[in-house]
Amino acid sequence: MRVFYLLLVIGLTFGTLAALMAYLITYKEWEHHYSSPKIPRRMALETAIFTLLFFLGVTLVLALFFR
């Protein structure tokens, strides 16, 4: 059970960091293509949420594997 919590903390930490980086990179790329800042922000937020969910999913699979 300790491994599960450890991997969950690691997943949340690095998942949040990865989501933040994905948001910044995606926003900077898409802001060149649109005149309005609303569309790139929405697309970057979708990418960040997907990235966070992906990292949390991988972490949960690893936690179940090492259980």
CA–CA distance from 19 to each of 2, 40, 48, 64, 67 (Å)? 25, 15, 4, 23, 26
Tally of structural domains, the chain:
1
pLDDT for 45 equals: 96
Please give the residue range of the domain that contains residue 24.
2-65
Model-wide pTM > 0.95: no
Cα–Cα nearest to 28, from 53, 14, 47: 47
pLDDT in tens, 28-62: 999 989 888 899 999 999 999 999 999 999 998 98
Quick one: pLDDT band at residue 4, thresholds 50, 70, 90? confident
DSSP 33: T
Retrieve residue 49's tokens: 């949420």
CA–CA distance from 23 to each of 7, 9, 16 (Å)? 23, 21, 10
pLDDT in tens, 9-30: 888 999 999 999 999 999 999 9
